[in-house]
Chains A and B, each alone.
Chain A
Amino acid sequence: MKVTVKYFASLRETIGRAEDQLEIAENMTIADIWRQVNPEHIQNQQMLCALNMEYVDWGTVVQANDEVAFFPPVTGG
Protein backbone atom coordinates (compact mmCIF):
# COMPACT_ATOMS: atom_id res chain seq x y z
CA MET A 1 0.00 0.00 0.00
CA LYS A 2 1.05 3.59 -0.63
CA VAL A 3 1.92 6.27 1.93
CA THR A 4 3.44 9.74 1.72
CA VAL A 5 6.25 10.66 4.13
CA LYS A 6 7.25 14.30 4.68
CA TYR A 7 10.29 15.78 6.44
CA PHE A 8 10.65 19.30 7.76
CA ALA A 9 13.28 21.84 8.85
CA SER A 10 16.68 20.49 10.00
CA LEU A 11 15.52 16.92 9.48
CA ARG A 12 14.65 17.66 5.83
CA GLU A 13 18.16 19.08 5.33
CA THR A 14 19.88 16.15 7.09
CA ILE A 15 17.96 13.58 5.07
CA GLY A 16 18.24 15.60 1.85
CA ARG A 17 14.62 15.08 0.83
CA ALA A 18 11.34 16.86 1.61
CA GLU A 19 9.07 13.94 0.73
CA ASP A 20 8.99 10.21 -0.09
CA GLN A 21 6.23 8.24 -1.77
CA LEU A 22 6.49 4.74 -0.30
CA GLU A 23 5.11 1.31 -0.99
CA ILE A 24 4.85 -0.41 2.40
CA ALA A 25 3.50 -3.64 3.91
CA GLU A 26 0.30 -3.62 5.97
CA ASN A 27 0.31 -3.13 9.75
CA MET A 28 3.48 -1.05 9.80
CA THR A 29 3.89 1.49 12.57
CA ILE A 30 5.37 4.96 12.19
CA ALA A 31 8.58 3.68 13.84
CA ASP A 32 8.73 0.85 11.24
CA ILE A 33 8.39 3.38 8.43
CA TRP A 34 11.17 5.53 9.89
CA ARG A 35 13.47 2.47 9.99
CA GLN A 36 12.56 1.57 6.40
CA VAL A 37 13.17 5.00 4.88
CA ASN A 38 16.08 6.17 6.98
CA PRO A 39 18.03 3.14 8.22
CA GLU A 40 21.22 5.20 8.46
CA HIS A 41 19.68 7.67 10.89
CA ILE A 42 19.11 6.79 14.51
CA GLN A 43 15.68 7.59 15.92
CA ASN A 44 16.23 10.76 17.88
CA GLN A 45 14.31 10.93 21.17
CA GLN A 46 13.35 14.54 20.50
CA MET A 47 12.06 13.98 16.99
CA LEU A 48 8.30 14.33 16.52
CA CYS A 49 5.95 12.51 14.20
CA ALA A 50 2.50 13.20 12.81
CA LEU A 51 -0.07 11.08 11.00
CA ASN A 52 -2.49 12.88 8.68
CA MET A 53 -1.45 16.19 10.29
CA GLU A 54 -2.09 15.14 13.91
CA TYR A 55 0.57 14.35 16.52
CA VAL A 56 0.69 10.59 17.22
CA ASP A 57 2.88 8.05 19.04
CA TRP A 58 5.61 6.18 17.19
CA GLY A 59 3.68 2.94 17.67
CA THR A 60 0.63 4.11 15.68
CA VAL A 61 -0.23 1.80 12.77
CA VAL A 62 -0.36 3.43 9.33
CA GLN A 63 -3.16 2.86 6.78
CA ALA A 64 -3.13 3.07 2.97
CA ASN A 65 -2.80 6.62 1.57
CA ASP A 66 -1.88 8.08 4.96
CA GLU A 67 0.47 11.06 5.25
CA VAL A 68 3.26 10.59 7.77
CA ALA A 69 5.55 13.46 8.82
CA PHE A 70 8.79 13.61 10.80
CA PHE A 71 10.21 16.83 12.22
CA PRO A 72 12.36 18.34 15.01
CA PRO A 73 10.92 20.15 18.07
CA VAL A 74 8.93 23.21 17.01
CA THR A 75 10.29 26.74 17.45
CA GLY A 76 7.55 29.14 16.38
CA GLY A 77 6.17 32.21 18.10
Chain B
Amino acid sequence: MMKLHSSRQSRVANVANIKIINGEFDPFAILSQQSASLDMSKIGACNSFVGSMRDFNQGDSVLTMELEYYPGMTEKALEKLANHAIEKWNINDVLIVHRVGPIKPSDVIVLVAAWSAHRADAFSACRFLIDELKTKAPFWKKEQLKNSSRWVEKNT
Protein backbone atom coordinates (compact mmCIF):
# COMPACT_ATOMS: atom_id res chain seq x y z
CA MET B 1 0.00 0.00 0.00
CA MET B 2 1.26 3.49 -0.90
CA LYS B 3 2.27 5.85 1.88
CA LEU B 4 1.05 9.42 1.61
CA HIS B 5 3.59 12.22 1.90
CA SER B 6 0.94 14.83 2.51
CA SER B 7 -0.58 15.28 5.93
CA ARG B 8 -3.75 16.82 4.51
CA GLN B 9 -5.37 13.49 3.74
CA SER B 10 -5.42 10.53 6.07
CA ARG B 11 -6.64 7.91 3.64
CA VAL B 12 -5.04 6.04 0.76
CA ALA B 13 -6.56 4.34 -2.26
CA ASN B 14 -7.55 0.71 -1.78
CA VAL B 15 -9.30 -2.02 -3.71
CA ALA B 16 -12.62 -0.22 -3.42
CA ASN B 17 -11.17 2.53 -5.64
CA ILE B 18 -9.82 0.32 -8.43
CA LYS B 19 -11.64 -2.25 -10.51
CA ILE B 20 -10.50 -4.18 -13.57
CA ILE B 21 -13.40 -6.01 -15.16
CA ASN B 22 -13.45 -8.69 -17.86
CA GLY B 23 -17.00 -8.25 -19.12
CA GLU B 24 -19.57 -5.51 -19.60
CA PHE B 25 -20.27 -3.03 -16.81
CA ASP B 26 -22.79 -0.25 -16.18
CA PRO B 27 -20.78 2.85 -15.21
CA PHE B 28 -23.81 4.65 -13.82
CA ALA B 29 -24.79 1.75 -11.55
CA ILE B 30 -21.23 1.68 -10.21
CA LEU B 31 -21.27 5.45 -9.66
CA SER B 32 -24.53 5.14 -7.72
CA GLN B 33 -23.18 2.30 -5.60
CA GLN B 34 -20.01 4.21 -4.78
CA SER B 35 -21.97 7.39 -3.94
CA ALA B 36 -24.22 5.35 -1.64
CA SER B 37 -21.14 4.23 0.31
CA LEU B 38 -20.00 7.82 0.97
CA ASP B 39 -21.15 10.48 3.42
CA MET B 40 -22.79 12.60 0.72
CA SER B 41 -23.65 15.36 3.20
CA LYS B 42 -19.97 16.39 2.99
CA ILE B 43 -19.77 16.17 -0.80
CA GLY B 44 -20.84 18.95 -3.14
CA ALA B 45 -19.49 17.59 -6.41
CA CYS B 46 -18.97 14.37 -8.30
CA ASN B 47 -17.16 14.57 -11.59
CA SER B 48 -16.98 11.50 -13.81
CA PHE B 49 -15.60 10.49 -17.19
CA VAL B 50 -16.93 7.54 -19.19
CA GLY B 51 -14.97 6.34 -22.22
CA SER B 52 -16.47 3.93 -24.72
CA MET B 53 -15.46 2.15 -27.92
CA ARG B 54 -15.93 3.75 -31.34
CA ASP B 55 -16.58 1.67 -34.46
CA PHE B 56 -13.93 3.65 -36.36
CA ASN B 57 -10.28 4.60 -35.88
CA GLN B 58 -7.73 6.19 -38.19
CA GLY B 59 -10.18 6.13 -41.09
CA ASP B 60 -11.03 2.41 -40.76
CA SER B 61 -14.09 0.56 -39.50
CA VAL B 62 -13.30 -1.38 -36.34
CA LEU B 63 -15.36 -4.51 -35.69
CA THR B 64 -14.14 -5.54 -32.23
CA MET B 65 -11.23 -4.94 -29.92
CA GLU B 66 -9.15 -6.93 -27.43
CA LEU B 67 -7.80 -5.14 -24.36
CA GLU B 68 -4.68 -6.67 -22.82
CA TYR B 69 -3.23 -5.70 -19.44
CA TYR B 70 -0.41 -6.65 -17.07
CA PRO B 71 -2.07 -8.35 -14.07
CA GLY B 72 -0.50 -6.96 -10.92
CA MET B 73 1.27 -3.98 -12.45
CA THR B 74 -1.89 -2.46 -13.93
CA GLU B 75 -3.65 -2.47 -10.54
CA LYS B 76 -0.52 -1.01 -8.94
CA ALA B 77 -0.30 1.76 -11.54
CA LEU B 78 -3.98 2.67 -11.08
CA GLU B 79 -3.61 2.66 -7.30
CA LYS B 80 -0.66 5.02 -7.66
CA LEU B 81 -2.74 7.41 -9.81
CA ALA B 82 -5.58 7.32 -7.28
CA ASN B 83 -3.15 8.11 -4.47
CA HIS B 84 -1.59 10.99 -6.43
CA ALA B 85 -5.06 12.47 -6.91
CA ILE B 86 -5.86 12.07 -3.21
CA GLU B 87 -2.58 13.80 -2.30
CA LYS B 88 -2.91 16.61 -4.80
CA TRP B 89 -6.56 17.67 -4.46
CA ASN B 90 -9.02 17.93 -1.64
CA ILE B 91 -11.19 15.01 -2.65
CA ASN B 92 -13.34 12.62 -0.62
CA ASP B 93 -13.11 9.64 -2.93
CA VAL B 94 -11.96 8.47 -6.35
CA LEU B 95 -12.90 5.55 -8.56
CA ILE B 96 -11.17 3.95 -11.54
CA VAL B 97 -12.89 1.11 -13.42
CA HIS B 98 -11.36 -0.34 -16.59
CA ARG B 99 -12.52 -3.09 -18.91
CA VAL B 100 -10.21 -5.83 -20.27
CA GLY B 101 -10.73 -8.72 -22.70
CA PRO B 102 -12.96 -8.68 -25.80
CA ILE B 103 -14.88 -5.44 -26.43
CA LYS B 104 -17.37 -4.34 -29.07
CA PRO B 105 -18.32 -0.88 -30.36
CA SER B 106 -20.41 1.24 -27.96
CA ASP B 107 -19.25 -0.82 -24.95
CA VAL B 108 -17.90 1.20 -22.02
CA ILE B 109 -14.12 0.85 -21.64
CA VAL B 110 -13.34 3.11 -18.70
CA LEU B 111 -14.96 5.03 -15.86
CA VAL B 112 -13.10 7.47 -13.62
CA ALA B 113 -14.72 9.66 -10.98
CA ALA B 114 -13.80 12.03 -8.17
CA TRP B 115 -16.00 13.20 -5.28
CA SER B 116 -15.24 16.47 -3.52
CA ALA B 117 -16.74 19.25 -1.41
CA HIS B 118 -16.36 21.65 -4.37
CA ARG B 119 -16.41 21.22 -8.14
CA ALA B 120 -12.92 22.58 -8.93
CA ASP B 121 -11.12 19.73 -7.12
CA ALA B 122 -13.52 17.13 -8.56
CA PHE B 123 -12.99 18.40 -12.14
CA SER B 124 -9.19 18.59 -11.79
CA ALA B 125 -8.80 15.20 -10.15
CA CYS B 126 -11.06 13.50 -12.70
CA ARG B 127 -9.16 15.00 -15.63
CA PHE B 128 -5.83 14.04 -14.07
CA LEU B 129 -6.98 10.44 -13.55
CA ILE B 130 -8.08 9.84 -17.14
CA ASP B 131 -5.16 11.72 -18.73
CA GLU B 132 -2.56 9.90 -16.61
CA LEU B 133 -4.30 6.53 -17.05
CA LYS B 134 -3.95 6.91 -20.80
CA THR B 135 -0.19 7.50 -20.64
CA LYS B 136 0.86 5.39 -17.60
CA ALA B 137 -1.40 2.41 -16.99
CA PRO B 138 -0.34 -0.82 -18.77
CA PHE B 139 -3.26 -1.53 -21.09
CA TRP B 140 -2.98 -2.28 -24.82
CA LYS B 141 -5.69 -2.28 -27.48
CA LYS B 142 -5.75 -4.59 -30.48
CA GLU B 143 -8.32 -3.74 -33.13
CA GLN B 144 -10.03 -6.26 -35.39
CA LEU B 145 -10.73 -4.74 -38.81
CA LYS B 146 -12.64 -6.40 -41.66
CA ASN B 147 -9.68 -8.31 -43.09
CA SER B 148 -6.87 -7.75 -40.59
CA SER B 149 -6.00 -6.84 -37.03
CA ARG B 150 -3.62 -4.24 -35.62
CA TRP B 151 -2.27 -3.02 -32.30
CA VAL B 152 -3.14 0.58 -31.52
CA GLU B 153 0.27 2.26 -31.38
CA LYS B 154 -0.59 5.60 -29.88
CA ASN B 155 -3.41 7.00 -27.80
CA THR B 156 -5.22 10.03 -29.20
Contacts and interface: CB of A to CB of B under 8 A. Distances in A.
Interface of A: 6, 8-10, 13, 50, 53-55, 69, 71-77
Given A50-B138, A73-B153, A76-B133, 9 more contacts: A6-B70, A8-B68, A9-B142, A53-B70, A54-B76, A71-B140, A72-B153, A75-B155, A77-B130
Contacts of B151: 9-10, 13, 72, 75
B70 A71 contact: yes
8 contacts: A9-B151, A53-B76, A73-B155, A74-B155, A75-B134, A75-B139, A76-B139, A77-B137
Contact-residue bracket for chain B: 20 to 34
Across the A-B interface, the 9 shortest Cβ-Cβ residue pairs: A76-B139, A9-B140, A53-B73, A77-B134, A10-B151, A75-B152, A75-B141, A75-B155, A77-B133
Contacts of B70: 6, 8, 50, 53, 69, 71
B154 interface: yes
